[in-house]
Structure 1
Amino acid sequence: MNKQLLLKNGQVLIGREFVAADLRIEDGRIEGIFPRENGEVSLRRDWHSGNAVATDIVHATPRAAERSAATFVGAAHEIDLNGARVIPGFIDIHTHGGFGVDFNQADGNDLQKVMAFFASQGVTAFLPTVMTDEPDAIARQLERIAQVAHAQNMAHSASVPCPRILGIHLEGPFLAESHRGAHPAYLLRPCDLGLFDELQCAAGGMIRIVTLSPELEGAIPFTRALAARGVRVSIGHSGASYEVAMAAIHAGANSATHIMNAMKLMHMHDPAILTAVLESDIYAEMICDGIHLHPAIVRFLIKAKGLDHMIAVTDSIMATGLSDGRYSIGGTEVIVEGGDAKLASNGMRAGSTLTMIGALRNLQVFSGRGIEELSRLVSENPAHMLGIDGDTGSIELGKRADLVALGAGDVLEMTMAGGQIAYLLQKRLFSKSYG
């Protein structure tokens, strides 16, 4: 890892506005934010208040503030962003894989391969999502993923910079058959805390999200027990009534899985789970690929839930980043045509081929809003949902340097994970080292 890194000449997303600024990165964290005026580092204006300041460093942590501006400019390594917009790195809380890798079957080499692909799409952290399978198969896969995540966490300076595995999203087997989607019916199971504890043990405590159907017998106390263990419960794959869904929310569920997909929709006399999700303050995932949700529905959801409670996810499968053809999800054959993934057996939609940068681009087109408003759906909101927003998800002093640089046309020019460059479009950005 570069101990000191200077990102120069960026348009940095601070709060909800882009500010011309330089960023100083040290030991993987943001240690200084230096606004620029007329192409030079500003020593006089605080961009939050507009007040004059006497210090030579406008915003810096205490240790960075001890250094002079000259020391700041002389960082060990510099990257000239040439006006690229810098936003928080993307956090995908629901992905089944990509680039030929399926998280239900991936080994360590597969995980390294897909993490490199994710980095090229702006992802700085993610939760591999393991879907319904035989309990022993799920346990083996959870253990594999946990081993890679543990090794990643132990390595303070990874040989190959890559996105972080934040934990695991367990989608199934605690799902309703009526809204199972691509999950095999014969493998679905009732809510079982003993089974969950076995799986969590295999995962080394890394299961962070569980998607479950709240109408299953015992689902409400199960939700309460998971929430007490610090696990995020996301309700989905469900035909639950409004009352049952609200009971799950009151028991501790804090999110809904791919809203309106594999979910009972509302009716004027039967509000159902969808109304509970819209009315409450829980988060809601949405798949913004133009296939799972019509653009007008995306606008409606943003208006109904608000920008602070929507989370853009990919629900991506192994075909993501590859051409149309035959693939699989959790061992079940999938046919991808025009980027639309469906089960070969019955035509049921089975995940997506969406990327996170693609989701952000689509959100702009669908909603007519700018990145300064929408960035939170791919970074800050998932971080807050997971309870890690004090560490990542926005560009603030002391937080991890999980960053994405976008050029003209939203071309992804750089992905930085924990201060390490995980992806760099060399043709656009100029990099140089000192000493």
Structure 2
Amino acid sequence: MKQSFNCTDCITNESIQVVVEDNLVISKTKTTFETDASLFIGPSLLDLQINGFSGVDFNTFPILQEDFITVIHNLAKEGILSFFPTVITNSDFNIISLLQNINQLCLQSALISSYVSGIHLEGPFISAVKEASGAHSKEYIKAPDWELFEVFQEASGNRIKIITISPEWDNAVEFIEKCVANNIVVSIGHTVASGAQIKAAVDAGASMSTHLGNGAPLSLHRNSNLIFDQLANNNLTPSIIADGYHLPDNFLKIVLAAKNNQVILVSDSTMFAGMNPGVYHSHIGGKVTLEQGGRLSIFDNNKILAGSAVSLLDCINKLYSSALLNLATAWSLASTCPKRMVNVADCSDDFVLFKIVNNMIIIVSVIKSGKQIYTQN
């Protein structure tokens, strides 16, 4: 069957015609034909921070191949064609096991390898202060250790491309310099670092902030604090969780304005993302409640969030439908911006067709490597 889509590039506003026959893209060219006003084309999405999805936890060993492939298929339906499985603070043995597990899955499956653009190691070199460490187990938090990191990197098959650390440790600068020399993006997060320590980290090569506004103490100085220090530093690109629950709109507006939209959207999703509303058990938060819309909270206290349970597409929709960003910028923060941060090529054969319905993005078709892998029913 042959299909022709006349659509608008959501970033450049150019008119594009896509022709698909038997699920293969025959052509994708600029056109002078009249486009469908509600149909858009955009580059594939990249999520730099996924702890789990669709009932699969990337921090519980073992991760089975069929489960990983289930995650891939469900992410692909939302235009997410590459992502960074995120391994958080744990015992050295468990971190090594999980990294080896992910690497082996990539080596055994070309499909999995094509979706895993890298691994994000979030910890164990973060702050031991409880309000900053959050769900990370204090038992395993430690100072940066380059020799240990090399063991982690070997276990991952050199797939670790982002590491989140706290610069408050005495040897943080030396560790950051070694990471940068080895082409690893250093992101500041889960920290109580001073302004001087944050500046020193950036001077050493740290270039990103992990889920800014979260993983920080509840009580901060009113006009001199670690969030302001990161916002004010022009060499830091913050990632944010724009799920509508982790950050209020006024904070999102401030970050987007202060950084002139040089921001990266991440989902920071847990295994509960993509699941039906209900009561579940989490090995980190215990009994949790997942509400319609993706709000995840502690069962006994629904005022306390138990992590993120939305996808990257949900975050784009939040920013767009709330008029916090226009469509071009919102899509860019989840596609071209993260790809640029981790030096992942933006493949022209990977793209997404979508419509705007009731001010929300609805995926129509997903193309990977020139093949249509999903169409809306």
TM-score, normalization by structure 1: 0.76
- The CA distance in 2 between the partners of 1:404 and 1:151, in whole Å, is 27
The DSSP-based 3-state class of the residue aligned with 1:352 is coil
Q: Over aligned residue pairs, what C-alpha RMSD do you find?
A: 2.8
Superposed, 1:217-366 pairs within 5 Å as 217-263=170-216, 267=221, 270-307=224-261, 309-322=262-275, 323-328=277-282, 333=286, 335-338=288-291, 339-342=294-297, 349-366=305-322
Corresponding letter in the other structure for 1:320: A
8 Å CA contact 1:296–1:366 kept in 2: the answer is no
Whichever residue aligns with residue 408 of structure 1, its letter is I
Structure 2 residue ranges without an equivalent (≥5): none
Structure 1 residues 30 and 269: CA distance shift in structure 2, 3 A: farther
Q: Is contact 1:119–1:163 with CA below 8 Å preserved after alignment?
A: no
Aligned residue among 415, 421, 424 for 2:366:
415
| Partner residue, 1:42 | none
Distance in structure 2 (CA, Å) of the matches to 1:124 and 1:360? 15
| Counterparts in 2 of 1:83 and 1:290: CA distance versus 1, 3 Å | closer
Distance, in Å, in 2 between the alignment partners of 1:406 and 1:378 is 15
Equivalent position to 2:86, from 116, 129, 132: 129
- Give a deviation string over 1:38-75, Cα, whole Å, max 9, x none: 46xxxxxxxxxxxxxxxxxxxxxxxxxxxxxxxxxxxx
Q: Percent identity?
A: 26
1:137-178, Cα deviation, whole Å (9 max, x unpaired): 1111111111222344xx4xx5xx996110110111111121
CA distance in 1, matches of 2:65, 2:133: 29
Q: Secondary structure at 1:369's aligned position in 2?
A: coil
What is the alpha-carbon distance in structure 2 between the residues aligned to residue 416 and residue 176 of structure 1?
A: 41
Please say which of residues 340-349 and 170-179 is displaced more in the overlay.
340-349
| Mapping 1:133-148, distance limit 5 Å | 133-148=90-105
Q: Flag the 1:297–1:6 CA change in 2: closer, same or farther, 3 A.
A: farther
Q: CA deviation at 1:238?
A: 0.7
- TM-score, with structure 2 as normaliser: 0.88
State whether residues 52 and 273 of structure 2, in contact with CA within 8 Å, keep that contact through their aligned partners in structure 1: yes
Give the superposition deviation at 1:220. Answer: 1.3
User: How many positions carry a matched residue from both structures?
Assistant: 363
For the structure 1 residues 226 and 24, does the alpha-carbon distance in structure 2 shift closer, same or farther, using more than 3 Å as the test? farther
Hey, what does 1:57 align to over in structure 2? none
In structure 2, which of residues 13, 17, 20 is the aligned counterpart of residue 18 of structure 1? 13
- From 28, 41, 56, the equivalent of 1:86 is 41
Structure 1: unaligned runs, 5 residues or longer = 40-80, 393-398, 428-435
Instruction: Give, in whole Å, the separation in 2 of the partners of 1:220 and 1:303.
Output: 29
Residue identity in the other structure for 1:374:
A
Deviation at 1:268, TM superposition (A): 5.2
Decide whether aligned partners of structure 1 residues 22 and 83 sit closer, same or farther in structure 2, where only a CA change above 3 A counts: farther
1:9, 1:20 within 8 Å by CA — same for their partners in 2? no
Shift of 1:332: 5.2
Whole-angstrom CA distance in 1 between matches of 2:348 and 2:126: 35
Residue 58 of structure 1 aligns with which residue? none
SS of equivalent residue, structure 2 residue 72: helix
Give the SS at the match of 1:37.
coil
The match for 2:72 is 115
Question: Which is bigger in relative contact order (C-alpha 8 A, separation at least 6)?
Answer: 1
Structure 1 residue 336, shift from structure 2 partner:
2.6
Aligned to 1:373: 329
Return the index of the structure with the highest Cα Rg. 1
CA separation of 1:215/1:6 partners in 2, compared to 1, >3 Å: closer, same or farther? farther
Provide the residue aligned with 1:190 in structure 2.
143
DSSP-derived class of the 1:336 partner:
strand
